[in-house]
Amino acid sequence: MRVRNFIFQICFRRALLVPILLFTYGCRCGIPTPITGIPASTEIIQSSILNSTEPLTLVHVWATWCRPCREEFPELIKIHNEYASKGLAIILISADNPNDFGIVETFLLEQNSPVSSFIATELDQPFIEMLSPTWSGALPSSFFFGSNGKLLTEWEGKKSYEQYAETIEVLLKEITGDTP
Amino acid sequence: MKKKRTIHLAMSTVAALTITSLAAIDIGDPWVDADVKMKNVDGSKVSINDIKGKKGTLVIFTCNHCPFVIDWQTRMVELANTYGKKGFGIIFINSNDSATQGDSYEEMQQFAKENGYQFPYVVDETSQVAQNFGAKKTPDVFLFDATGELAYHGAVDDNGRNPERVQKTYLKDALEALLAGKQVAVQETKAVGCSIKFR
């Protein structure tokens, strides 16, 4: 049983690695990559946050079945469109079941999302603490990280475009010393 | 020095923008709102004090539709029904705005019946009980000892999605500890849940 689990883990991780690498490579080279949901472990998500090349990274945890998350989603797209060229990266993490990646993909396409979303394969305490030791685990939640992976601020619950923009302006100004 | 001051000022502005409410009850704190009467699915009015148990009292903030609640539902009800017969007071509280899809009083009655609740499932009509507990999501477990002090707060176990892959049965272990008159070993845990739709 252990051997079978080990083989499954290896295959599963390698299978995940391909779309993640393509996604990362495509983004860095300016190649359009298909918008989709990518099942990912806590380790992979953490690595993605740490390797973000932008000065400010907004990590947003959401789910397709979460009403406030759905209501808030268009605001996030507007935020991406306004600030992606000004030093902000957005990493989406869906709390949907990884088996439902098709539902996640359909939602992203319906919303014309410019970014793909990870789908967390673990939603346990290590996942929560990887993002923030003070996060209760409630959805939706947003976390702002500096380029060194340092958590700058966070909040729980739905927010407006203006609330996101205000926080991003302050943080980018603090990090870069310039007004975005 | 000037740069440092600027950063501190900026961070204070961000802190002001960040809305985070602190947990109202910490481990070892006495329960709150124990005398608040809440409408049960059987039509009666019940408070936490009314149902408190000799061994301890289990309060779970929950609802009818959250996928995380559904994932843990069988395990939560099984523990509640089992330990309700072993001297624990049990109460499930729904603090969601009843306008939330699937959380009307009638739907709560149906849900309790379908899931075999042998304990009160009550409406927190103003969501104030959840606010005062510091509950933010469903499911959120609060287990009090016989004196009404918080002994355990957090998740049911360490794997909501896959019951067969559970390795740590946090709530069961905490119930067993109180039953044996011992201190709970793991007093606080966390898991992802649906935000409570506060009124």
A95 lies within 8 A of chain B by CB = yes
Chain B contact set for A136 (CB, 8 A):
23, 136-137, 190, 193
Q: Nearest CA of chain A to the CA of B44: how many Å?
A: 31
**Each residue of A114-126: pLDDT tens digit?**
999 999 999 999 9
**Each residue of A132-176: pLDDT tens digit?**
999 999 999 999 999 889 999 999 999 999 999 999 999 999 998
Chain B contact set for A171 (CB, 8 A):
10, 14
What does each of the 199 residues of chain B score in pLDDT, given as a tens digit?
444 444 444 554 455 444 444 458 999 999 999 999 999 999 999 999 999 999 999 999 999 999 999 999 999 999 999 999 999 999 999 999 988 778 999 999 999 999 999 999 999 999 999 999 999 999 999 999 999 999 999 999 999 999 999 999 999 999 999 999 999 999 999 999 999 999 9
Q: What span, in angstroms and rounded, lies between the C-alpha atoms of A80 and A58?
A: 10
The rounded mean pLDDT for chain A is: 86
pLDDT at position A141: 97
Cβ neighbors of A59 (< 8 A, separation 6 or more) are A49, A90, A91, A93, A131, A142, A143, A144, A145
Amino acid in position A33: T
Residue A20 has pLDDT above 80, yes or no: no
Amino acid in position A50: L
Substitution target from B18, B26, B165 for chain A, most A beta carbons within 10 A: B18
Cβ neighbors of B190 (< 8 A, separation 6 or more) are A125, A128, A129, A135, A136, A137, B154, B155
Task: Kindly identify which residue of chain B lies nearest to residue A98, measuring between CA atoms.
Answer: B161
pLDDT at position A33: 64
- What is chain B's alpha carbon radius of gyration, rounded to the nearest angstrom? 18
Fold of B23-195: Glutaredoxin (3.40.30)
pLDDT at position A169: 97
pLDDT at position A7: 45
Pairing, β B88-94 against β B56-61? parallel
| Contact flag B191-A137 (C-beta cutoff 8 Å) | yes
Task: Kindly identify which residue of chain A lies nearest to residue B4, measuring between CA atoms.
Answer: A174
Pairing, β B88-94 against β B150-154? unpaired
Strands (E), B23-97: 38-40, 45-46, 56-61, 88-94
| Contact flag B137-A137 (C-beta cutoff 8 Å) | yes
Chain A contact set for B142 (CB, 8 A):
none
The CATH classification number of A34-176 equals 3.40.30.10
A153 lies within 8 A of chain B by CB = yes
Cα distance from N-terminal residue to C-terminal residue, chain B: 45
Domain ranges of chain A: 34-176
- Nearest by CB to B136, which of A63, A129, A156? A156
- Nearest by CB to A138, which of B14, B159, B193? B193
pLDDT at position B5: 41
pLDDT at position B33: 96
Query: Is the Cβ–Cβ distance between B191 and B69 less than 8 Å?
Result: no
Binned at pLDDT 50, 70 and 90, residue A36 comes out as confident
Q: Nearest CA of chain B to the CA of A177: how many Å?
A: 10
Count of C-beta atoms within a 10 Å radius of residue A9: 11
Task: Kindly identify which residue of chain A lies nearest to residue B134, measuring between CA atoms.
Answer: A136
- Nearest by CB to A155, which of B18, B161, B196? B18
Chain B contact set for A153 (CB, 8 A):
11, 14-15, 17-18
pLDDT at position A180: 62
Binned at pLDDT 50, 70 and 90, residue A14 comes out as very low
pLDDT at position A35: 82
DSSP state at residue A87: T
φ/ψ region of B89 (left if φ > 0, alpha if ψ in -120 to 50, else beta) reads: beta
Q: Nearest CA of chain A to the CA of B110: how many Å?
A: 22
pLDDT at position A18: 45
| Model ipTM value | 0.84
pLDDT at position A22: 43
Chain B contact set for A174 (CB, 8 A):
6-7, 10-11
Question: Which ranges of chain A does DSSP label H, i.e. alpha helix?
Answer: 2-29, 42-50, 67-83, 101-110, 125-131, 161-176
Containing B193, the helix (H) or strand (E) segment is: strand B193-195
Which residues of B have a CB under 8 Å from any CB of A?
A: 6-7, 10-11, 13-15, 17-20, 23, 67, 100-101, 136-137, 155, 158-161, 189-197
pLDDT at position A147: 86
A83 lies within 8 A of chain B by CB = no
| Contact flag B192-A127 (C-beta cutoff 8 Å) | yes
- What is chain A's alpha carbon radius of gyration, rounded to the nearest angstrom? 16
| Contact flag A153-B18 (C-beta cutoff 8 Å) | yes
Q: Nearest CA of chain B to the CA of A175: how many Å?
A: 9
Binned at pLDDT 50, 70 and 90, residue A94 comes out as very high
